[in-house]
Each structure stands twice: as structure tokens, then as C-alpha cells.
Amino acid sequence: MSELHVGIDLGTTYSLVSVVEDGEPRVIKNGLGELLTPSAVHVSEDGVVLVGSAARAKAVTAPHRTVLSFKRDMGTARRFELGGKSFTPEELSALVLQGLKQDVEAEFGRPISEAVVTVPAYFGELQRRATRTACELAGIPVERIINEPTAAALAYGLHENQRELCAAVLDLGGGTFDVTILEIMEGVVEIQASAGDLRLGGDDFASSLVERCQLLLDRNHGIGDLTDIGRARLGEACELAKRRLSFEEQTRIALPALATVAGPRDVELALSRADFEEACLPLLSRMTRVVERALRDAGREPRQIDEVLLVGGATRTPCVVRLASQLFSRLPLRVLPPDEAVAMGAAIQVALKKGDSAVGDFVVTDIAPFTLGVASGNRRGAALVHGLFSPIIERGTVLPASRVEQFATIADDQTRLLLEVYQGEHSLCAQNQKLGQYELDGIPPGPAGTQVIDVRFTYDMNGVLDVDTTIRSTGETAEFTIESVPGRLSKKEIDEARARLKRLKFHPREALPNVTALARADALYVELTGENRVVLGAHINQMRLALEQQGTSDISAARERLLRLLSELAPRG
């Protein structure tokens, strides 16, 4: 049995898997026949877990039992309460990954041997380790972590271009925005700079529209606070409106019986693309700053960029395309579906790693997205300043990298040293992100400044940091072990989390098409009124009766009729 190597795009909004067949990447459809699997988790009242499209549909009718966009909290201590159970972002990501794993293994009839998984270029060390933990919990062996823009560049096939080429990859996903400047030269893809914003994505564009609609509701309809379900319905309606405004100048949002704190209200709002783009101006300004920082770090002017690549579903938004065109004075290149390019590139990367001659022979380099260093102090006479940031590996350093810096004791007879590791760009540690700490013992006593300690940082291609120290006078070395970092799981905690996930109840895979169809129908039923609602209600009842009678052919026929009706009645976008 041949090995199965896959590329996985674990996204904020959608996730997908790709493989390379005969030198070409192919995105694998999930159990519902869809290329994109929503990164969503729902826990029903009876404790059953839903993942993907069914869970995404439940976000409208049961928002308190559904969670989305948890990728933004990877590597943090945040926990999500669902159905009386508590989940970390890593555990929720693992549930999505398990669904992807199940689908791809059902497609090929064998287990995944190795995977390349993508992360935003601006993900730091904690988020990258958290991503690897999520894969471990899902039982997916990770060959390598690769940056999303780098993967996208591979998918676009720029390495095949015979001319030297400098490109800017703008990756706007559901939750993050990355800009990577790279150069293609004689079979080498060299990353020159990366910059990003981990709290800027398509979700924020939809949220801007939600805020605009809430102002209109208050001003034009006298509607104040909404209930949880009301907010969820408004959010879903704004997401659909955002998509429609990508190809229409005007649209309307109709929300019959919208759940407000004061009671249900029928609401209809008119929106224009100009309204939406005005609401998004602060987000476009933030995008501009990220682009400018990436160009500055790469030492490039916009006119020196030969191609601009747009990646991520949110780059379909016209004002985003226009911004890219204005910043670089050229039309962006979009020859692949922006949702799929990253996963396809990840599959190419794993094929390259395995020496697949069908995908060619070229080299990809990457860089450190953040500066990494330690806390230090300075003494002058009786004055002592603590908490200064001393860089060891600067952002933009080509990976893998190993750097060593020397530090000396600052007190007489100092025998211990607290080594604190930080990530960031500020001169004060308090303004950067702490990655961990290690207490070094056994320093021989002596006058201040006489004992020298070498601190070595080793940063690999996966963005994983190892630290070791050497006391010069004794030659004693110690490997850095991270202690009590929020959001990081120990081996024991990983084992416990894996056992806990195994105890969860899941809908059988073969039942998911039925569950998903009903979840989508229930979500649409909330939005409709009049004859359409009556017709949809009848189809939902027929589907539930078929499930109750458990006749396989009757269930399939009822589901197909329901799906056709949903396609006819659902808002476009």
C-alpha cells in the first residue's frame, strides 16, 4: 500500500486538504462533496459533536452551542464552553482536522502517512506549536509547518518562470492578513520579508457591516440590543450581503421576526457597496500599513514588484482588489481559486519533500517573522534597569538559523539566572510576547560581569524555537524547557486531551449529509416568511419523517428534494 501524503490548510473560516497526483495538486472533497469544510464546531443538546457545514449552519439557530474563528486564539489560554464541555482552541482545531482526516482516508482507503500544514506567515512560535499540537491530537503526523503565502506561491507555479521575478503575496483569509515579499530565481523561492496582522480578516469586514447595520437599526427602526440569536442572524445576513456586494452595487437584508431584547421585529435594510466600503476604511488602512512594512523590511519599492498574488477568499472583495492595484500600480494575478491555492501549495511542498520528480526540483527558503530574544538588565553604579529586550534572532533571518549571544552576571556572587524568552519588536520586554522562562543554576560566584553565559537560539523551518545555555567558565550546558506558558500543553495534558476527545460522541459519517441538510434548512426557515416558509417547513417535515421511518431510499429522495428547494430559496452570495 502506497503512502498518503497530504497538504492541509487549517483556516480560520474554512479548511481543506490537497494531494499531488501526476504532478498536479488536487483538492479533496469532503463527505458532503464540498471542497471547503467550515472550521466550525457545534455540540448538540444531547452532547453529540458536529463539525463542518452542519456546525456552521447551527451558528444561526444555536449560537451558544457553536463556535467559529477559534484559530485566532491558537496558542492562548482561552477556553470555549460548549454544551457543558470546555475546549481549548487546539482541541477545537483537532476536531476539524479529524473530520478532514476521516474524509481523505475514506477517499483513498488508507491512512495519512505525513502532512504539511499551513499557518499564517505572521504566526509566532506559540501559535505554530499549538498548530502542531492540534495535529497531534487529531492523529495526523506533521512533516512540516509552512507559511500560507509561501504555499500559495508554490501553487501558482512561479518557480517554473524562467525569468527572475519578485512577487508580493497578499493573503487575506477569514481571520488573518499576511503580506510576503519573495523572489524567484533559478529554481529558488526566496522569502525576503513577511508582515501581518493576526486580527484582520474577512470576518472583520463582515463585522464592519454588522456595526453599520446596527447603527441603521437604531437610527431608522429604533431597535437597540439584540438577543444572541438575533445577533447571529444579523451576522449571517451581513456575511451573505458582503459576498453579494462583491458583484452587485446594491443589496437588501430582510430579517423577519428579528429577535431583539424588546421582542421580535420585522426588519429590512438597504445596503450599497459604497456603504460597505466606507465601513471598511479603517481595515483597508490597517492592510496598507502591513504592506508598507513588508516592503520596507524587504528593501523594495512597489515599482520593483513584478507580480501581485491575491490569496484567501476575502480577496474577492472589490475594495481589497482595488487597494492592491493602487498600492502596486498593477492588476493582481488570480489564476487559481483564492480559497484553494494555499492547500494546493502545501501538497506541492510535501511532494517536494518526498522527492516527487513530477513537481520539479526547486528550493524554498523562509524567514523568521518576528524577532526573538531574552530579557536583560543594565547596571550603572547603584542604578539597575530590568526588562530590556535583547534580540538574538532578528526578524527576516533566513531559516533554519542558529545564533548565539553572550550575557554576563550583573551582581556580585550571582549564582542563578532567570532566562526569559520573548518574541516581538519593542525595546521593552513588557511590550513583547513572553514565550517562556528557564532558571539557570550553578553559576560560579564572582564579581559582577566576570561570569559569561552563552545563550543560543536555534529556529527551524517549522518556526519552532530551541534554546540552550553554556556557562563559559565551567562548560556546563542546559537545554531550555518552557515552563507554565499559557495555552501550551504538556505531554501529559496532550495525552489527557486526546483521551477526552475520544470520549466525545460524533454523528456517524454516513449520517452527516442528512444532519447538514436539516441544519441548513432550519437556518433558512428562520429567515423566511409567507408561502416560501410554508413550503420549506413541509419539506423539513418530510425529511424528518423519512429519517424516523429509516427507509434508505426514502431518506435520499427527501434529502435531494430538500437540497433542491434550499438552492432555490437561499439568498445568493
Q: What is the dihedral of CA 121, 123, 128, 131, to 10 degrees?
A: -90
DSSP-derived letter for residue 443 is P
- Coil vs helix vs strand at 149: helix
Percent helix, strand and coil across the chain, each to the nearest 5: 40, 30, 30
Asked if 71 is an active-site residue, the reply is yes
Other CB atoms within a 10 A radius of the CB of residue 451 amount to: 21
Got the DSSP string for 182-211?
Answer: EEEETTEEEEEEEEEETT-SHHHHHHHHHH
Q: Examine the residue annotation and report whether 148 is marked as an active-site residue of this protein.
A: yes
Distance CA 494, CA 488 (A): 10
Among residues 58, 71, 101, 242, which one is catalytic? 71
* CA-to-CA dists, residue 72 to 41, 68, 102, 202, angstroms: 15, 10, 24, 13
Is 178 assigned a catalytic role? no
Per the structure block, which three cell numbers stand in for 167? Answer: 512577487
Residue 249 C-beta-side C-alpha neighbours within 13 Å: 0
Alpha-carbon distance of 129 to 412, in angstroms, equals: 38
What cell numbers appear for 161 in the block?
518562470
Q: Which of 403, 384, 406, 383 is nearest to 395 (CA)?
A: 403
* DSSP 8-state class, residue 280: T
DSSP 530: H
SS3 sequence of 19-78: EEECCEEEECCCCCCCCCEECEEEECCCCEEEECHHHHHHHHHCHHHEEECHHHHCCCCC
**DSSP characters for 359-371?**
G---EEEEE-SS-
Active-site annotation holder among 103, 136, 148, 178: 148
CA-CA distances (angstroms) from residue 2 to 5, 108, 114?
10, 10, 12
- Separation CA 94–CA 85 (nearest Å): 15
Q: Are 51 and 98 in contact (CB under 8 A)?
A: yes
Instruction: Give the end-to-end CA distance of the chain in Å, rounded to a whole number.
Output: 42
Task: Count CB-CB contacts under 10 A for residue 286.
Answer: 14
Determine which one of 91, 125, 136, 171 is catalytic: 171
Is 85 designated active site? no
3-state secondary structure 308-342: EEEECHHHHCHHHHHHHHHHHCCCCECCCCCCCHH
Contact 66, 41 (CB under 8 A): yes
Catalytic residues: 9, 71, 148, 171
